[in-house]
Amino acid sequence: MTRAFALGGDGVVLDLPREGDIDALYAACTTPLVHETLNVPWPYERPHAEGFIREYAPTVWASGVGEVFAVRESADGPMLGTLELRRTAPTVGNLGFHLFEQARGRGLMTRAVALLLDWAFAHGYERITWEAIAGNHASAGVARRLGFTFDGEAPSSVTSGRHLGRASWLAHLDKAQHGLELDAHNRPWWPRPGELPEAAPLPRP
């Protein structure tokens, strides 16, 4: 029995990835930006997208190790991204997200993560963590807008593959910080382009 559920609001629907999403996911995961930023297999083949939807997502849901969503703008709309929370300690979850190219630049992922944070902090999570390859300012923007505190740089937590040994940026958001009105006095500092060392880009695939 799966524990999967859907969330919705603010023009976002988060629900279970489904068979009809395979083509969209496959197309989105073959881009150079995905090679550079995400820890997915490379070269990314259609069976990887099939495996994500048919096996990986249902297994994560069923096992309770986290929540894996498709991001859409309506319940019957196409998959526009993926959003995942993986439990790394009893009350700590680590975020992962990917918004497909056609849906970027209008705040959809920020709204999607905000929805997930509302749910997570109401259901036992006390801290949500974020990690990205150092210099991924698009991803940092999502965390920054939602009030995450920037924790600095560390070796990437990936243990194999092309991101092994690259530098990561880390951040966290605690339940007490969630939803605070951010102004000049309490807005956490985040690096702007050029302010901190960034990971050297991978050779273009």
Ligand X SMILES: CC(C)(COP(=O)(O)OP(=O)(O)OC[C@H]1O[C@@H](n2cnc3c(N)ncnc32)[C@H](O)[C@@H]1OP(=O)(O)O)[C@@H](O)C(=O)NCCC(=O)NCCS
Nearer to ligand X, 64 or 105 (CB): 105
38 contacts ligand X (rule: CB under 6 A): yes
192 contacts ligand X (rule: CB under 6 A): no
105 contacts ligand X (rule: CB under 6 A): yes
97 contacts ligand X (rule: CB under 6 A): yes
**Helices of type H across the chain:** 22-28, 32-37, 46-51, 57-63, 108-122, 137-145
Annotate 35-70 with b (16+ C-beta within 10 A) or e (fewer): bbbbbeebebeeebbeebbeeebeebbeeeebbbbb
Q: Which amino acid, residue 105? A: G
Nearer to ligand X, 129 or 139 (CB): 139
Nearer to ligand X, 18 or 106 (CB): 106
The SS3 of residue 166 is: coil
106 contacts ligand X (rule: CB under 6 A): yes
Q: How many residues bind ligand X (CB under 6 A)?
A: 20
Residues that bind ligand X (CB under 6 A): 33, 37-38, 97-99, 104-110, 132, 136, 138-139, 141-142, 145
